[in-house]
Chains A and B, each alone.
Chain A
């Protein structure tokens, strides 16, 4: 398994509170991603990073921000959590270029009440 650690793995939070999920990798891969998984939607890209301090939006970025100050860490922040952000969040990593596989972390279960 690729060296990807997500924390926390499970969290329950209240509507309106900020939440930060952390993804840590030991593979020194250039690309890091945050996806959310919801029934009927599969996995949808929230944000991704192609290098330290280089990030871009995915298809469902509203309400989320990210930061990458070190190669190994990619943080996802919900500025003010809403019930619609209850989901399973997966971090992923990859080297650049064609033919490189994208590897996934174990997921973070977030419930917003």
Chain B
């Protein structure tokens, strides 16, 4: 079975502060991990995937297999980062399993 845990429902930070959205996973095989972002009432958009090791909109995420984590980080939060963030795992069967999401609120 595959499982994704996002422990924080809501994360509130001030503009310019560092951001870390936590994601832990459980999967017996070799996972593919993703971060999706959803702005208010819009479609989910891919933010990052671990295999590409890229930085999008200043966000990065590193897969830590020892800690089974894929935390999303940004050094300086911007107001436009306010959104819902979902961590997701693709295991067997080409299916995504999502965490419950973390609402990021960036305050001025």
The distance in angstroms between the C-alpha atoms of A92 and B55, with both chains bound, is: 24
Q: How far does the alpha carbon of A92 sit from the alpha carbon of B90 in the complex, in Å?
A: 14
Taken together as a complex, chains A and B put the C-alpha atoms of A94 and B46 apart, in Å, by 13
Given contacts A43-B96, A58-B95, A103-B46, 18 further A-B contacts (CB under 8 A): A1-B43, A33-B95, A40-B9, A42-B6, A42-B98, A42-B101, A43-B86, A48-B95, A50-B94, A56-B93, A98-B32, A99-B32, A101-B49, A102-B34, A102-B96, A104-B36, A104-B44, A106-B43
B100 within 8 A of partner (CB): yes
B28-56: which residues lie under 8 A (CB-CB) from chain A? 32, 34, 36, 41-46, 49, 51
Count, chain B residues at interface, CB 8 A = 24
Q: Which residues of A line the B interface, CB within 8 A?
A: 1, 31, 33, 35, 40-45, 48, 50, 56, 58, 90, 92, 94, 96-107
How far apart are B84's CB and chain A's nearest CB, in angstroms? 9
